[in-house]
Structure 1
């Protein structure tokens, strides 16, 4: 019997892709629900939006700072072990947040512990394992499937979390969400094993690979674009439900908007991955960022209503994480896969620095001005910047000089 499915991807690779997608479904699904807790936690603990935004911003920053190191460990030790440790830390973070009596407890739980945990149970670790298990022409599609898992989690978990918040208090809801996160531990078996590179090239040692990428302009342009992606996602994911409530719409519309973002990103992540396997990834990234800016302009110009919110959420959802398979596909295409988790982790660090500013600055701007308008305008400008930044990227693999033979 053949050991490959009709698409050409081996059965072992499919196991890694599907279990990896489920891990991302759970980890990102729970995380994307955090925006629903802004109002109930703020009212109960008397925390303003700037403080809550700072907690989520710190989580994003710590998430990003940990990723290059966690990614390097996954490249060396295997993704399964790292995912188990990440899940355990995630459980601890949710438990600490659920028992918090003030902003400090929330910072330790939601900020520090959850931030560290996310590095081990999301894209960098999972995509690194998947990228080595498939052939080069299959990577962008495989990355798109895994990325879609994060959106499936958002579509399923966010409405469930809102239902739990309606039925129970926010503390009980966090404990229930922690039980979902515990499912990552058995799923980690699917991505376990010693890292194996599908294309047998040895590549450079890690230190040399990092120095090589640091000298390449394309690597910095990828970082610049992904910074903007993080800013957009953290701002919208953290503050959109509150923005909607501020305009007099119900909490249900806010939850539905996050769920629709997740639903449409299932198709978006997969399709952007498919298109990236057939065409120019940098051009697709420029188009995606440009369309984000257009979507935000239209959202601000039309009268706000449940329909306009849901249309915006659907549109933005299609553009939500399509950047991930395209960006990681470019990292693998240009620099190879031996250190994909480490090099991809640095690019994700840029994403999370953007996320820090997206989550925190939106809360700060609201507390100072009473409005999110300034941040919407900044987000539109950043979308244009990211579109332009991706166009000069060189998509061809780096050509390394042949070693000079000793005489």
Structure 2
């Protein structure tokens, strides 16, 4: 039986997300080196990542529509080039403000041009198996989060952080450009239909859905925006600060950086498994349960005082967050359709950029002021619980808007 071309698109999207987010999330491995190099506090260095993340999620708001207009490969190809350029220029930075400009601008724009277009492409190739396909594609983020910090840690044992960033730039180019050439925006471009059905069975599937203006007027949209924001805060707090937190507990640098990789390992397991489970249980129901689980896992993080406990937290936390990230676009595609999904997801993912600012910068600020992360962890747990509540309100608003008596059609 011939393999459905959509699974090749899933594989290409998986690879692009692995490179983009592996590069971005490897920042935690470079954290101490940058802090030492520029004699900076944790708030300042954490803010560098926060600014970068905010930029790539804001750029994502225009990347989806841009890919629809000028072509998916052109946009994701430009993203790969900018990402590699960002690491190459960052390796030459001589001050923290200069690093803010070259790393934040180029890496931020590079990831932003890759993320939303790749995710949207997968949603358009599948309907019945959308959660599974989304989970497999987005698992690339977990693979990158696992592999990139290990690669960075190994490089940092051999040479300076500047040389390590140059190796990152080369790897991004060599692995990213073939993936760009393998991705196709939607099945109609190849005369196919979603899920591999006979052409015509679902030929209008990718043409149905809300316009962006309709989605923005929907109450469910803004509650979903809030839920994504609240659930994502802890991800960035952990990715940026778990390694320096572990080193503060006396854990060596290599083992501390491994904790970032273990979050990625949990992602690798959580995204495809929980994505597939979402097809059976319902994406929204599973998302709500995972948000509550995230809040509970913070208690483990709070009480972890050694490497083993932090490692257990990292794997479970990565799996739960991976499931959330795999299911968010599936919920959006189900509620709003795929007609303008690139623009819709782009706006929704601005919430993740805001979460990065809160998680990365505010956690660093708390440490600089209190000498510990306890307050940041407990606040993050409370926000995850509020995310579950926001999902419930989003579902209620969507049901009302979809009902015959609803005011939004």
**TM-score (ref. length: structure 1):** 0.91
Report what 1:180 is aligned to. Answer: 171
Do the aligned partners of residues 21 and 397 (structure 1) sit closer, same or farther apart at CA in structure 2, a change above 3 Å counting? farther
- Contact 1:148–1:269 (Cα < 8 Å) also in 2: yes
2:171 counterpart of 1:166 = no
Shift of residue 166, structure 1, vs aligned partner: 0.9
Which deviations, in whole Å up to 9, do the C-alpha atoms of 1:278-308 show, x marking residues without a partner? 1222221111111111111123235x11111
3-state secondary structure, aligned to 1:137: coil
- Contact 2:79–2:110 (Cα < 8 Å) also in 1: yes
How far apart are the structure 1 equivalents of 2:387 and 2:29?
28
> Equivalent residues in 2 for 1:340-359 (5 A)?
340-359=341-360
Q: Which of 63, 66, 69 is the matching residue for 2:59?
A: 66
Do the aligned partners of residues 17 and 280 (structure 1) sit closer, same or farther apart at CA in structure 2, a change above 3 Å counting? same
- Contact 1:75–1:128 (Cα < 8 Å) also in 2: no
How far apart are the structure 2 equivalents of 1:189 and 1:343?
25
Report what 2:242 is aligned to. Answer: 240
How far apart are the structure 1 equivalents of 2:382 and 2:231?
12
How far apart are the structure 2 equivalents of 1:102 and 1:230?
30
How far apart are the structure 2 equivalents of 1:341 and 1:215?
17
3-state secondary structure, aligned to 2:349: helix
How far apart are the structure 2 equivalents of 1:132 and 1:382?
32
Report what 2:392 is aligned to. Answer: 391
Shift of residue 89, structure 1, vs aligned partner: 0.9
Q: Which of 253, 256, 261 is the matching residue for 1:251?
A: 253
Q: CA RMSD in A?
A: 1.9
- Contact 2:298–2:381 (Cα < 8 Å) also in 1: yes
Report what 2:197 is aligned to. Answer: none
2:375 counterpart of 1:374 = yes
> Equivalent residues in 2 for 1:8-407 (5 A)?
10=4, 12-122=5-115, 124-134=116-126, 136-182=127-173, 183-192=175-184, 196=188, 198=194, 199=202, 200-201=204-205, 202-203=207-208, 209-302=211-304, 304-394=305-395, 399=402
- Contact 1:96–1:108 (Cα < 8 Å) also in 2: no
3-state secondary structure, aligned to 2:155: helix
- Contact 2:54–2:354 (Cα < 8 Å) also in 1: yes
Which deviations, in whole Å up to 9, do the C-alpha atoms of 1:302-359 show, x marking residues without a partner? 5x11111111111111112211221100111011112111111111111111111111
- Contact 1:282–1:393 (Cα < 8 Å) also in 2: no
Report what 1:404 is aligned to. Answer: none
3-state secondary structure, aligned to 2:299: helix
3-state secondary structure, aligned to 1:322: helix
**TM-score (ref. length: structure 2):** 0.90
How far apart are the structure 1 equivalents of 2:237 and 2:296?
17
Question: Which ranges in structure 1 are unaligned for 5 or more consecutive residues?
Answer: 402-407
Do the aligned partners of residues 46 and 158 (structure 1) sit closer, same or farther apart at CA in structure 2, a change above 3 Å counting? same
Do the aligned partners of residues 176 and 309 (structure 1) sit closer, same or farther apart at CA in structure 2, a change above 3 Å counting? same
Do the aligned partners of residues 121 and 225 (structure 1) sit closer, same or farther apart at CA in structure 2, a change above 3 Å counting? same
Aligned length: 388
Which deviations, in whole Å up to 9, do the C-alpha atoms of 1:129-188 show, x marking residues without a partner? 111122x11111100001111111222221111010111110000000111111212210
Greater fraction of residues in helix: 2
How far apart are the structure 2 equivalents of 1:307 and 1:325?
27
Which deviations, in whole Å up to 9, do the C-alpha atoms of 1:17-43 show, x marking residues without a partner? 111111111111121110111111111
Do the aligned partners of residues 209 and 400 (structure 1) sit closer, same or farther apart at CA in structure 2, a change above 3 Å counting? farther
- Contact 1:80–1:191 (Cα < 8 Å) also in 2: yes
